[in-house]
Structure 1
Amino acid sequence: MSSLSRSPHPWRGHRRASWRRLTFALAGLGLVVPLATACGGDDEGPDEAGGEGTSDASQELVIYSGRNEELIDPLLERLEEATGTTVTVRYGDSAELAAQILEEGERTNAGLFLSQDAGALGALAEAGLLTELPREALDQVEPTFRAEDGSWVGVSGRARIVAYAPEQVGEDELPQELADLTDPRWSGEVGYAPTNASFQSFVTAMRVLEGEDATRRWLEDLRANDAQAFDGNGPILDAVNSGELAFGLINHYYVYELAAEVGEDEVSVGTHYLPGGGPGSLVNVAGVGITAYGGQEAAAQEAVDFLLSEEAQTYFAEETFEYPLAAGVTSPVEELPSLESLEVPDIDLSDLATLQETLTLLQDVGMV
C-alpha cells in the first residue's frame, strides 16, 4: 500500500447496519415503503437531540443526517462558515430518519436529508417528499450517481470489493464473478456481513439486476459453502488481514481506514474490484435531497452546493477515503483505481429502496 499520512479514524468501528429497524418503523407507521442502506451513520441509533425548523430559511437549516456525527460534523461546521447559515443537525440511522420524514410528511422540520444510502433517498422521492434539484447541481455529478428524476444527488461514493489475503490467494485465483466465491475450494474462507447495510444494498442490487431467483440461489450457495458471517465490514477486514479468511465482501474505504489507523505496514490485504458490471461491482453513494415541505429551500440549496464544492469533495477524498463525485476532485490514494475505470452496474440507485424484499429473502435463506 502507498504511504497514507492521515490521522486515525475513530468512527471505523461504528460502521454497522440496522436496516431491520426501518422495516419495523415503517410497519408501525402503516407505511409500505421498503428502503435499503449503506454503511456509516446508519450503524447508530438516532440522536434524539433534534431541532425545530424556522420560517427564516435563509438563516437556519435543519439537516437530518444519516452520516456518522464524528465523521460529518467537521464538514457541517465548515458549511456554516461558508454559507452563513445556522445549521441544526439531527443525527441517526439513515433508514430511521427516512422513516421519520415519511411519518412527518408535510409537517417535517427537516430542510435537507443527508443520507448514507441512495435507497433511503429513493424511498422519499417515491413518496413525493423531495424537490427536484436545479440542473446546475445535478450536472456536476455523473448520471449514474444521481436520481434520474433529479430528486437527489450523490456527494460521495463507495465501491464494493473483494478483499483478499495475498499470502493465500494468487492473482490468477481472484474471482471474476460472484459465483466463484461459492466454489468448494473456498469453503469457510469467505466473510460477509448479512445484517450490514452495505451488504443488504448489494443484495438489493443483485435482486434488481439478476432477479429474485438468481439472488436466492447465490445466497443459498454462499451459505452452503460455509461462508463466515460477521457483524460488519471492519471485523471481516480484520479476519482477512490476520489470515483467518481468504476473502471478504466489504466496501473499499475500509482498507485505507485500517491503514490510517494501525499503519500501512500492519495491513496485508489486497483489494479486488470485480469486472463485468454486475452487482458485485456496485458503487453506492451518500447523497442529499431537499425536502418538499421543510420550507428551507434556499438554505438547503446552498448546503447542496457546498457539499458538491471542491472543499467538501476534498474532505471526502482525504478524510473518509470515499470517491469524490464532483468538482473535479480525485482521491490522493495512489493505488485506488479511478471511478471511471470501474465497471459499475447499469442500475438506478433509487431502486435500492426495495429493502423489505431483500430482508425477507435474507430471512428465508437463514442469513438474518
Structure 2
Amino acid sequence: MTSLPRRLLAALLTAGLLTTAACGEQTVDERIAEASEDGELIVYSGRNEKLIGPLLEKFEQASGVDVTARYAGSAELAAQLLEEGGRTPAAVFLSQDAGALGAVQEAGLLAPLEEELLAKVPERYRSDEGAWVGVSGRSRVLAYNPGEIPESDLPQTVFDLTDPRFKGKIGVAPTNASFHSFVTAMRVSAGEERTREFLEGLKANEPKTYNNNLLVLDAVDKGEVAVGLVNHYYLLEKAAEAGGLEKLTARNHVFPGDDPGSLVNVAGVAVLKGNESGDARAFVEYLLGPEAQTYFAEETKEYPLASGVEADLEDMPPLEELQGPDIDLSELSSLQETLALLDEVGLT
C-alpha cells in the first residue's frame, strides 16, 4: 500500500490545519498543550464538531474522562500526525475515512487494538493489522430522480454512467473526499486502466459538478440532473429534515454485487502508539457500545458496525446485504495517485 506522500501531507497541513479556529482567546494548540499537562484525553477528530461534539460530551458524562479535541479534515489530521510522529499529544485519531487511518498505520504510528475490541466489528470494516476499527459505515449510492429516469432504466453498474444516454444528466462532486475514496476503491479493485477509461467516459458525458454531496442530492431532487453519485445518508438526513422520504422526489439506488459504485467506507478510530491509556481504550470501547452506535444510526443515518446494534435506514438495504468492492479499506490511503488521475482526466 502507498501512504500519502510527505509533499502532499505538507500541503494538506498548510491548507487545512492553519484554518483551525481559536476557541475564545486560546488557539487549539494552546488548549491541547494545557490538556496534555492536565492529563486529559486528546482526540484528533476528522469528523466535524457539530456531529461528534455531542457524542464526546456523552462519553465525558458516562466515563468521567475529560476530552479535548482538535477538529480538522481527516487527511489534514493524518498530515499532522505524520509531522508530529512520536511527539504527538494525541491519544486517539477519529477519522471520517479509512484511507487516512491507513496512511497513519503505514507510518507505524498506531498501537494495536485488543482483539476484544476488534471482534465487535466485521473483519472487512477493520484494519487487517488490528491497528484501527470502524465505528460507522456509509455506502456510496446513485441518487436518482424517478421523474427523470424510471427505476427500470437505472444502470446496474457505475461503469454504465459512461453511456451517452447519461450525457448532461449526471451530478458529481469531484473535489469531495468521498468521491476521491470511491475513485481510489475503483483503482484498487478494477485497476488503473479501467478507472481511467471510466473517468474519461464520465468526463465525456459532461457531468454537472458541485462542491459537495448535499448539493448533488439537491440537484437530483429538483430535477437539475437525473442521477448523482453521493453517500447514502444525505438523502436520509434530508428526508428527516423534510418530515419523511415521501416529501422528497429523490431516491437511492444501490449498485448490486461488488460494484465500486457501492463502496462501503467507514469512519474509524485508532489509538496512537506511545499514548496508549485506559482512557483511550475506554473511548474506543464507548464508540463501539450501544449508546454511540445508536447515535450513528439515528442521528447521522449511518450504519452501526458493532454487533448487537441494528439500524432501520429507510430506502436502504441492511448492512449485511451490501457488498461493494472486495478491498482492504486501508488501501484507500493511495490518495495522491487518485488526485493525479482526476487532474489528468480533467475532472478537477
Tell me the TM-score normalised to structure 1 length.
0.86
Code of the residue aligned with 1:276 in structure 2: it is: G
Counterpart residue number, 2:346:
366
Counterpart residue number, 1:78:
58
Q: Does the CA contact (< 8 Å) of 1:46 and 1:96 recur in 2? A: no
Q: Does 1:130 align with 2:130?
A: no
Moved more, 133-142 or 339-348: 339-348
Counterpart residue number, 1:274:
255
Moved more, 167-176 or 234-243: 167-176
Code of the residue aligned with 1:283 in structure 2: it is: V
CA shift, 1:247, in A, is: 0.4
Tell me the TM-score normalised to structure 2 length.
0.91
Code of the residue aligned with 2:182 in structure 1: it is: F
CA shift, 1:278, in A, is: 2.0
User: Please, which runs of 5 or more residues in structure 2 have no aligned partner?
Assistant: 22-26
Give, in whole Å, the separation in 1 of the partners of 2:17 and 2:250.
24
Give, in whole Å, the separation in 2 of the partners of 1:45 and 1:99.
14
Counterpart residue number, 1:3:
none
Query: 1:308-342 CA distances to partner (integer Å, 9 max, x unpaired)?
Result: 00000000000000000014111133432100011
Counterpart residue number, 2:24:
none
Which residues of 2 match residues 151-190 of structure 1 at below 5 A?
151-190=131-170
Structure with more helix by fraction: 2
Code of the residue aligned with 2:36 in structure 1: it is: T
One of 217, 236, 241 as aligned partner of 1:261: 241
Counterpart residue number, 2:202:
222
One of 47, 51, 54 as aligned partner of 2:36: 54
Give, in whole Å, the separation in 2 of the partners of 1:45 and 1:137.
34
User: Please, which runs of 5 or more residues in structure 1 have no aligned partner?
Assistant: 1-19, 30-41
Counterpart residue number, 2:223:
243
Give, in whole Å, the separation in 1 of the partners of 2:10 and 2:118.
30
Moved more, 241-250 or 44-53: 44-53
Counterpart residue number, 1:288:
269
Secondary structure at the residue paired with 1:64?
Answer: strand
Report the identity percentage.
54
Give, in whole Å, the separation in 2 of the partners of 1:141 and 1:122.
17
Q: Does 1:149 align with 2:132?
A: no
Q: Does the CA contact (< 8 Å) of 1:46 and 1:97 recur in 2? A: no
Say if 1:358 and 1:43 are closer, same or farther in 2 by CA, change over 3 A.
Answer: farther
Query: 1:246-302 CA distances to partner (integer Å, 9 max, x unpaired)?
Result: 100000000011112233343111111001212111010000000013x24221100
Code of the residue aligned with 2:207 in structure 1: it is: A
Q: Does the CA contact (< 8 Å) of 2:96 and 2:267 recur in 1? A: yes
Residues matched between the structures, number: 334
Code of the residue aligned with 2:261 in structure 1: it is: G
Q: Does 1:213 align with 2:193?
A: yes
Secondary structure at the residue paired with 2:111?
Answer: coil
Secondary structure at the residue paired with 2:182?
Answer: helix
CA shift, 1:170, in A, is: 1.6
Code of the residue aligned with 1:180 in structure 2: it is: D
CA shift, 1:44, in A, is: 11
One of 233, 253, 257 as aligned partner of 2:213: 233
Q: Does the CA contact (< 8 Å) of 1:94 and 1:117 recur in 2? A: yes
Give, in whole Å, the separation in 2 of the partners of 1:273 and 1:78.
33
CA shift, 1:70, in A, is: 0.5
Secondary structure at the residue paired with 1:168?
Answer: coil
Counterpart residue number, 2:97:
117
Counterpart residue number, 1:323:
303
Q: RMSD value over aligned CA atoms?
A: 2.1
Code of the residue aligned with 1:205 in structure 2: it is: A
Give, in whole Å, the separation in 2 of the partners of 1:364 and 1:311.
45
Code of the residue aligned with 2:272 in structure 1: it is: T
Q: Does the CA contact (< 8 Å) of 2:136 and 2:267 recur in 1? A: yes
Say if 1:362 and 1:322 are closer, same or farther in 2 by CA, change over 3 A.
Answer: same
Give, in whole Å, the separation in 1 of the partners of 2:20 and 2:187.
29
Say if 1:164 and 1:23 are closer, same or farther in 2 by CA, change over 3 A.
Answer: farther
Secondary structure at the residue paired with 2:299?
Answer: helix
Secondary structure at the residue paired with 1:261?
Answer: helix
